[in-house]
Structure 1
Amino acid sequence: MTTYLKYASLALAVGLFGCSEQPTPSADEASTDKLSTSTLETVNIDKVRSHIKTLASDEFLGRGPLTEGETLTINYLADEYKKLGLTGSFNGNFLQPVTMAKLTPDQNMTLKVGELSFNAGSDFTARTQQINPEINIAGSDVVFVGYGINAPEYNWDDFADIDVKDKTVIVLVNDPGFATQDDTLFTGNAMTYYGRWTYKYEEGARQGAKAVFIVHETAPAAYPWGVVESSNTGSKYTLIDQDNNASDIPVMGWIDEQAANEIFAQAGFDYQTEKANALKADFKPLDLKVKAELTLKSDISQAQSHNVVATLKGSETPDEYIVIGAHWDHFGTKQTEEGLKIYNGAVDNASGTAATIEIARILSEMHKKKPFKRSIIFANFTAEETGLIGSEQFATGEIAPTKQMVALLNIDGMNVLDGVDYILQYGKGMSEMEDYLAEAAQSQGRHVKMDPRPQNGLFFRSDHFSLAKQGVPSLLFMSLGDTDPDYIAHKYHKEADDYSPQWSMGGVKQDIELIVDIAAKLANNGDWPKWKAESDFKARRLQDR
C-alpha cells in the first residue's frame, strides 16, 4: 500500500510544477521551448476519434476490469503502442499485472450503539480493506473526535486529548474551512486532503481505532446518501500488501445524519451543537459513554487486472522519466429488468486513453527526428474508478522508482466539444508546474482558469494522487462539465456517456498540443520541478532528491 500522508492539506493542488532556474538554452534547446507552434498541425483528430469510438463501443463492454472488456481494451492499447515502435515498460512487456482483492461486505449486519440498532444500507455502511473474512467489534467505546484531523501546520489536532486505540470513532466529513467558508481556516471552501473521506480512515488507522464512521451530510460530502450506499454496499477492490492490509482501519464506515442525531441524543448531547464546537482548534473529543457492536463479514477473492505501459527511451538520461497517463477502465455492464446496460465511458475516460495514444504517436515522431534526453512512459491504469488501484500499483516503483519520475501528466476526461480560451488548473500556488501550464497555455492564446468546484476535492479522485503521495508532482487534465453543463447531470458515470460523431473535438486538439508542449520540454531541459508549499509531498520529494 502507498505511504500515508501526514501533512496532506496542500494536496488540494494538482501538484503542478514549473521551472526552476535554468542556464541559457542552446539554439537546439530553445527550439523545443516553442513546440505548440511546430506541433499545431500534427494532431490527427481522425485517429483520436477512431480510438474513442472503438474503446467506447458496446463491443468493449464498458471496459470493466476483470471482464472480457478488459481483455479487449488492454490488447487494443498494447497493439497501438507496439505499432508506434515503443517498448513495453514491464520487463519488456506492455502489460503490468495488478493483483487485486475483491471484497464484498455481507449486508446482513446490524450496527448497535448503546440501546440503538441501525440497518445496513439505509442507516449505515461498513466495509474493510483488510484481508479478513470476519471482523468483530464488541464493547468498543464510541467517541466523537470532530473532523478527525491531525494537521500540525494548521495547529490542529482533534486527537490531542484522547487515546482512541480499539475504539469506534465518529467523525465529520470535509474540513472546518468548508464548514465556515472562512478562507483563513484551512483553505476555506476548497477541500484539503484532511477533508477527504480517505484521510479520515487513514488517520483513524494511525491512531489505532477499531472503526471510523463518517457522518454523511450532502453539502460537505458533495453527494447524497444514495451515492454512499451504492458505493459501499457492493464489491470493492484493493491491492494487497505483505501483511494482508493489516495496517488499514478494520472497519471503514458511514452513518447518515439522522443516525448521528439519535446516537448523540442517547448520550445526552445535541449533534448540531457538538458539530459547531468541532469548528474550534481547541475542540475536545467527546466520549459518548456508549459501546458499539458490529460483525462485518466479507466475501474475499483475488484476481489479476493489468495496467498498459509503454516506454520511449531517452538518449542521455534514460533513467529519468516523464509519465503521461490516463485510466482505461469504466464501469462495465449491469443487468437490469430492462436488459443489459453498458457503461461505455466515452468521455470518462475513453477520451483520455485515446489522447494518450495520440500523444505517444506525436512524441515518438518527434523523437525520431531529435531524440529526447529523458525517457517518457505512457501508462494506462486499471481500476481508477474503484479506488486508483492501477496507479497505486504503478507507484510502488515496480517499473521505475518514483524518485526517478520527474512528473506525471494525467488525463481524466477531455473537452470533446469546441476549443476554449482557457485551461483548467486544479489548485493554486502549490508547485512550480503551474508556470509550465501557464506558459504552454499562453503560447496557444489561452489563459489559466482555476477549478470552478474546489470544494469537490477532485485532486484526490484521480490517478495522479497515487504518484503525488510518493512525491511525484502531477498535473491533472480534466474537462467533464465545464463545457457541457448537461454532462455531470445526465452522463457522468451513467449509461449516457457515449461517443457522438457530432463532437467537434476542438478541445481535445488543444489539450493534446499543450500536453505535448509540456512533456517535450521536461524531456529535454533537465528540470526537476519542485513543490512549493510545505507538505508530505514536498518532504518525500526532498528525501528522494
Structure 2
Amino acid sequence: MRLLTSLGTAVLLLGCQQAPSPSPLANFDEQLYRQDLKTLSSDAFEGRAPMTHGEQMTLDYLSNAFKEMGLTPTVDGSYLQKVLMVNYEADEQQQVTLAGLPLQYRKDIVLNAHNKVDHVAIENAPLVFVGYGINAPEYQWNDYQGLDMHGKIAIIMINDPGFAQPESGKFNGKAMTYYGRWTYKYEEASRQGALGAIIIHDTAPASYPWSVVEHSWTGPQQDLVTKQDDYRVAVEGWMTRDAAQKVFAASGLTLDTAMKRAAHKAIQLPLEQTASIAFRNSVYYADSYNVVATLEGTSAKDEHILLTGHWDHLGKDDNLEGDQIFNGAMDNATGVAGILAIARQLNDAAKAGKPLKRSVTFVVTTGEEQGLLGSRYYADNPIYPLAQTVGVFNLDSTNIYGRTKDVTIVGKGKSELEQYIEQAAKMLGREAKPESHPEAGGYFRSDHFSFAKLGVPAVYVAGGSEPIDATTAAYKERMQQTMNGCYHNTCDEYHEDWDLSGTLDDLQLHYQAIRALGDSDAKPGYYQGTEFYSLRPASGIKL
C-alpha cells in the first residue's frame, strides 16, 4: 500500500517561510483513495443520478464510510439530510416550430418544463430577443426595461456583456458575474412573467460544447420543491447557435449583428415571429439526500467549517447507443473520495490527541448537476446555523494531471478565507493563483456558491496549471487528449493510469488550511467591493 510521499520535500521549505508553523503532513493513502474513486464511478453505481438505485448505493457507501470513522450523525442518528425534490422529464418526441422552422430535439434544441403539468401546448407565442436577459440595477443594465413579457418567449444570450467587451468596464470584464449563468437567466425570465425562456448556446461564452447541453438537459431533470405560488416559465431550454441564426434570418435579421448590439447596451428586439411547442411532461416527487457528518471540535465545537462536494452525476441514458452510463469519475467521484480522505486524516489526528477547536462538517450534496440543489437546500435549511459557519471549502473535479507548482483559487480575491489556502500553498512550496478563464464563471458553478450568496465565506480550489517537471507535463498533455470531450459525457471514467499525485497534493493543501482555520479564533469575511461584502464584511485577517 503506497502512501503519499510526493510532498515530503515540502517539509524542508517550512523553515524558510514566515507563515505560522503548519500541522504535520497528513499521510494520505493513495490506494484507499483510488478504491473510493474507482468504486463510486463504477458501472454498478449507474452514474449516481438522484432518485435512482445509484443514489441508494452512494448513500450507503458514504454513510458506512463515515460510520467506520465514528463521525457524528447529524439528523436523528442518521447521516442523511432529506432534500425535498421533484423530478421532471420531457418526452423525447417534441414538436417545436420557431419562426416557421421545425427544430429537431437534441440536434437543434432541448426543452423542459419545470412545472406540475403533464403536457405543454404553446401556440403562436411571440418571440422576443432580450440580449443577455439581465436586470442589474447596480450595473445600470436592464434588458427587460419597459417590456411586458407575459405570453412571450424570451430568446437569451449566454454569459454577460463583460465577456464580449472585456475592456469596456461593463460588469466584471472578462470574469463572468452571476448574471451570466443559465440559472439566473431562467430565474429572471420567470420574474418578468415570460411564458418561456430559450438560451442560445455558444461554446466560447458558455465554456462548454453543445454535447454538454444535450447530455445535461435531456432525460430526468430534478429541482427543489418550491412554494405553490412561485411562478416559473412554462418552458425553458437551449438552442444551438446554428438554429438561432436560422430563426433570426427568418425574421429578416442577422444573429451576429443583434448579439453585437446586445453587448453594447440593453436591448429588446421583437422578432415578429412566433413559437409553437408541444410535448408531454412527466412529474413525480421523491426524496433525495445530502450526506452530512461532523467531526466535533473541542472548545469551539459550535463553530463549524464545512467541506463540501457533490456525489451526484448524470446517471444513465437508455436512448444512447453503446455506453449509456455517465460514470462521473472526475466529476465528481474524485472530490467525494477526497472528502473521505480528508475526513479520515482529520479524524485520525483527533484520535491521536490533536483535535481541532472548531468542528468540521462534511456535506456531500445531491443535485449539483441540476443547479446546486443539495447545497441550496442545506444553505436554506442548515443543520448548523450559518452564522456559526465560519467557512466553506469545496472539492469538485480534482486534479488528475499530476503535480503542479501552483494551485488555482477560482474567483480569487473574494474573501479572507482564501488566505488560509494561500498560507497552506506557501508552506508546501506552491503558489496560489487566480483561474486563467474567469469568463467561464467557475465561482458560480459549484456548491460553495450556495453558501457564498448567503454571506458565508466560501472558497473553491482547482488544480494548478504548471506541471512540476517535464515528465509530468508530457503526461498531462497525453491525458488531456484522452479526457478531451469527456466533461458530462460517458467517457468520464476512472483510469488506472491516472497520476493522482496532484490530487493528493491538493488534499494536503486543504487539510492544512482546514486545520489552520479550525484552531483559529478568526472569522473570515468578504472583501469590500465583492458581491457579498455587505452580508459578512472582512474582519481584517492578516495571516
Aligned to 1:6: none
Any conservation in 1 of the 2:132–2:157 contact (CA below 8 Å)? yes
Cα deviations by residue, 1:84-104 (Å, 9 ceiling, x for unpaired): 221112233111222322111
Q: Distance in 2 between matches of 1:307 and 1:315?
A: 25
1:146 and 2:131 equivalent? yes
SS in 2 for 1:132: coil
- CA 1:394–1:172 in structure 2 vs 1: closer, same or farther (change >3 Å)? same
Cα deviations by residue, 1:114-138 (Å, 9 ceiling, x for unpaired): 5554444333332122233234444
Q: Which amino acid aligns with 2:449?
A: F
Match of 1:304 among 287, 301, 317: 287
1:447 and 2:431 equivalent? yes
Any conservation in 2 of the 1:416–1:507 contact (CA below 8 Å)? yes
Deviates more, 1:329-338 or 1:466-475: 329-338
Alpha-carbon offset, residue 394 of structure 1: 1.8
Q: Distance in 1 between matches of 2:219 and 2:320?
A: 19
- CA 1:33–1:63 in structure 2 vs 1: closer, same or farther (change >3 Å)? farther
Aligned to 1:256: 240
Any conservation in 2 of the 1:429–1:533 contact (CA below 8 Å)? no
Q: Distance in 1 between matches of 2:400 and 2:159?
A: 32
Alpha-carbon offset, residue 178 of structure 1: 1.6
- CA 1:183–1:116 in structure 2 vs 1: closer, same or farther (change >3 Å)? same
Alpha-carbon offset, residue 209 of structure 1: 1.5
1:160 and 2:155 equivalent? no
- CA 1:137–1:58 in structure 2 vs 1: closer, same or farther (change >3 Å)? closer
Q: Distance in 2 between matches of 1:521 and 1:469?
A: 24
C-alpha RMSD of matched pairs (Å): 3.0
- CA 1:53–1:162 in structure 2 vs 1: closer, same or farther (change >3 Å)? closer
Deviates more, 1:434-443 or 1:469-478: 469-478
What does 1:70-469 correspond to in 2, within 5 Å?
70-113=55-98, 115-182=100-167, 184-243=169-228, 246-281=230-265, 283-335=266-318, 341-368=324-351, 369-469=353-453
Gaps of 5+ in 1: 1-30
Any conservation in 1 of the 2:316–2:324 contact (CA below 8 Å)? yes
Aligned to 2:33: 48
Q: Distance in 1 between matches of 2:318 and 2:162?
A: 42
- CA 1:421–1:270 in structure 2 vs 1: closer, same or farther (change >3 Å)? closer
SS in 2 for 1:228: helix
Alpha-carbon offset, residue 397 of structure 1: 2.1
SS in 2 for 1:187: coil
Alpha-carbon offset, residue 110 of structure 1: 3.1
Aligned to 1:522: 517
- CA 1:142–1:504 in structure 2 vs 1: closer, same or farther (change >3 Å)? closer
Alpha-carbon offset, residue 321 of structure 1: 1.4
Any conservation in 2 of the 1:307–1:382 contact (CA below 8 Å)? yes
Q: Distance in 2 between matches of 1:221 and 1:441?
A: 30
Aligned to 2:457: 473
Alpha-carbon offset, residue 213 of structure 1: 1.6
Q: Distance in 1 between matches of 2:178 and 2:404?
A: 30
- CA 1:444–1:333 in structure 2 vs 1: closer, same or farther (change >3 Å)? same
| Count of residue correspondences | 509
Cα deviations by residue, 1:104-157 (Å, 9 ceiling, x for unpaired): 112433344555544443333321222332344445433222111122232222
SS in 1 for 2:370: coil
Q: Which amino acid aligns with 1:348?
A: D
- CA 1:278–1:533 in structure 2 vs 1: closer, same or farther (change >3 Å)? farther
Aligned to 1:25: none
Alpha-carbon offset, residue 412 of structure 1: 1.0
Q: Distance in 2 between matches of 1:39 and 1:363?
A: 11
Any conservation in 1 of the 2:331–2:396 contact (CA below 8 Å)? yes
Q: Distance in 1 between matches of 2:237 and 2:324?
A: 29
Any conservation in 2 of the 1:413–1:477 contact (CA below 8 Å)? no
Cα deviations by residue, 1:217-275 (Å, 9 ceiling, x for unpaired): 3332233334333433322111112327x333332132333443344344443333222
- CA 1:469–1:91 in structure 2 vs 1: closer, same or farther (change >3 Å)? farther
- CA 1:82–1:177 in structure 2 vs 1: closer, same or farther (change >3 Å)? same
State the TM-score, normalized to the length of structure 1: 0.84
Q: Distance in 2 between matches of 1:162 and 1:337?
A: 41
1:485 and 2:480 equivalent? yes
Aligned to 2:8: none
Q: Distance in 1 between matches of 2:530 and 2:333?
A: 33
Q: Distance in 2 between matches of 1:338 and 1:104?
A: 20
Q: Distance in 1 between matches of 2:154 and 2:109?
A: 14
Deviates more, 1:303-312 or 1:502-511: 502-511
Gaps of 5+ in 2: 1-17, 467-475, 538-543
State the TM-score, normalized to the length of structure 2: 0.85
Tell me: higher relative CO, structure 1 or 2? Use CA pairs within 8 A at least 6 residues apart.
1
Q: Distance in 2 between matches of 1:476 and 1:487?
A: 25
SS in 1 for 2:115: coil
Alpha-carbon offset, residue 298 of structure 1: 1.0
Alpha-carbon offset, residue 308 of structure 1: 1.3
Cα deviations by residue, 1:24-66 (Å, 9 ceiling, x for unpaired): xxxxxxx99533xx33153333332332233334443443333
Q: Which amino acid aligns with 2:480?
A: P
Q: Distance in 1 between matches of 2:104 and 2:56?
A: 39
Aligned to 2:472: none
SS in 2 for 1:478: strand
- CA 1:108–1:349 in structure 2 vs 1: closer, same or farther (change >3 Å)? closer
- CA 1:539–1:206 in structure 2 vs 1: closer, same or farther (change >3 Å)? farther
Aligned to 1:9: none
Any conservation in 2 of the 1:321–1:407 contact (CA below 8 Å)? yes
SS in 1 for 2:371: coil
- Aligned-residue identity in percent: 38
1:69 and 2:54 equivalent? yes
What does 1:12-23 correspond to in 2, within 5 Å?
none
Q: Which amino acid aligns with 1:317?
A: A
Aligned to 2:9: none
